[in-house]
Amino acid sequence: MAKRKRLTPAQPTYLSGNEKAGASAPGPLSMGAAPIAQVASDTSASAALEELSGVLERARTKGLMIEELPLGAIDETYLVRDRIVQGEDDMQGLMESLKARGQHTPIEVVKREDAHGEKTHGLISGWRRLTALRRLYEETSDPKFATIKALVVRPESAADAYLAMVEENEIRVNLSHYERARIAVQALAEGVYPDQRKALLGLFQNVPRAKRSKIASFVTLVEALDDVLRYPTAIPEKLGLGLARAFAQTPQFAQEVAQKLRERPCVDAEEEQALLSDLLAAHEQSGIADVTETPPAGSDPEETPQTPPTSDSPTLMPQVRNLDPVDQNEDSERGSMPVSTGVHLDYSPSHQRIELTGPGVDTALLTALKDWLRQR
């Protein structure tokens, strides 16, 4: 009968790749991973890395990645800013919030391909946050305020960049009508839009039509007084619209107001508003005097009927030039023609409105027009 051979237990370090363990005990030599397995592992890791790099690049291209940039790398003059002034109380509140809780909302910047020096990115939106962090860093020298979180976006055009700036400010902190009108004028001057109508529609396409119409009226004010006003954002809506109407009716009046502001610098917003209000009131009174019929010499004032001008009188309700693009189709329906010496007629069927303007529009014409309407 053959003698049975006793088998020893398997080596625990067999195929483990542990050379030290294999050297300490007799048995077969340990082996590493098979070559084909190593190649597959390397290929898989390379593919995963390439896929991750692609995901990150697409996120960066779409402006979905938040990057941390040095404050000195941001050029806040990249766009003409729509905000003219910033209240100190609001700025202090923002600085306290950043100091206590840090920056939660990133700014938007664009990488400048033509950058020279340290200004590598242009600011699109987030001027208040950038300013607040710069002031905090100047005051504290704390390294945590030396950088800013930013989304690096790639707008397709300059118009898209301006629109992003305006919409961000419309959502966060309301601008004055003057500031809105000013950025429309500046964007046109920069060549971003071909004309003022397209600038208003491009920048304020998402605001209500009535609001955009008021912004369009303030464009007249910006064009006439931007160089001489000291406190333009404090001008009340009613005063601004009144001045715009007067400037549209009498361009010479705009020049007179600008000259008065140069001759009499105002120390605060209240004084400037008072001066503008007085000038507008005097202009309106002179307009009323021009359309009030003067009795013939030697006649009895009691026997001469005086027809006071009404709010419906065309010369007392001048229309500010229409810049609202939404109204362009309606404007195309209007008829405009001279009907007699010194009288110009405008007809708008969509508004069911007829307007008579010009130096020939006086009380006599008003009386004759009333008589003719009664006999129709």
Collect all residues with Cβ–Cβ distance below 8 Å to 17 and sequence separation of at least 6. Answer: 30, 31, 32, 33
Q: How many whole angstroms from its chain centre is CA 232?
A: 17
Cα–Cα distance measured from residue 77 to residue 62, given in angstroms and rounded to the nearest whole number: 23
Establish if 80 belongs to a structural domain.
Answer: yes
Which of 47-51, 58-62, 215-219, 268-272 has the weakest average pLDDT? 58-62
Establish if 102 belongs to a structural domain.
Answer: yes
Establish if 136 belongs to a structural domain.
Answer: yes
Q: Give yes or no for residue 219 having a pLDDT over 60.
A: yes
Establish if 358 belongs to a structural domain.
Answer: yes
Q: Residue 127 is part of a domain; what is its CATH number?
A: 3.90.1530.10
Collect all residues with Cβ–Cβ distance below 8 Å to 320 and sequence separation of at least 6. Answer: 216, 217, 220, 241, 244, 245, 248
Residue among 318, 305, 298 nearest 358 (CA): 318
Question: From residue 54, how far is each of 60, 61, 153 by CA, in Å?
Answer: 10, 10, 17
Establish if 271 belongs to a structural domain.
Answer: no
Q: What is the pLDDT of residue 278?
A: 93
Establish if 149 belongs to a structural domain.
Answer: yes
Collect all residues with Cβ–Cβ distance below 8 Å to 146 and sequence separation of at least 6. Answer: 70, 71, 137
Q: Which of 154, 175, 196 is the last residue of a domain?
A: 175
Q: Contact 82/129 with Cβ under 8 angstroms?
A: no
Around Cβ 106, how many Cβ atoms within 10 Å? Answer: 20
Q: What is the pLDDT of residue 299?
A: 40
Around Cβ 170, how many Cβ atoms within 10 Å? Answer: 16
The token pair at 135 is 């002031």
Average pLDDT over residues 251-263: 93
Q: What is the pLDDT of residue 96?
A: 87
Establish if 317 belongs to a structural domain.
Answer: no
Share of the chain above pLDDT 70, in %: 63
Average pLDDT over residues 160-186: 73
Q: What is the pLDDT of residue 126?
A: 83
Residue among 79, 70, 267, 99 nearest 162 (CA): 79
| Mean pLDDT comparison of 51-55, 89-93, 158-162, highest-scoring range | 89-93
Average pLDDT over residues 65-93: 76
> Could you tell me the pTM of the whole model?
0.47
Q: Give yes or no for residue 177 having a pLDDT over 80.
A: yes
Question: From residue 295, how far is each of 219, 307, 363, 366, 372 by CA, in Å?
Answer: 40, 11, 11, 16, 23
Which of 87-101, 168-182, 206-220 has the weakest average pLDDT? 168-182
Range of the domain at 344: 333-364
**190 or 34, greater pLDDT:** 190
Total domains present in the chain? 2
Q: What is the pLDDT of residue 319?
A: 44
Q: Which of 159, 175, 191 is the last residue of a domain?
A: 175
Q: What is the pLDDT of residue 183?
A: 83
Establish if 373 belongs to a structural domain.
Answer: no
Q: Which of 121, 154, 175 is the last residue of a domain?
A: 175
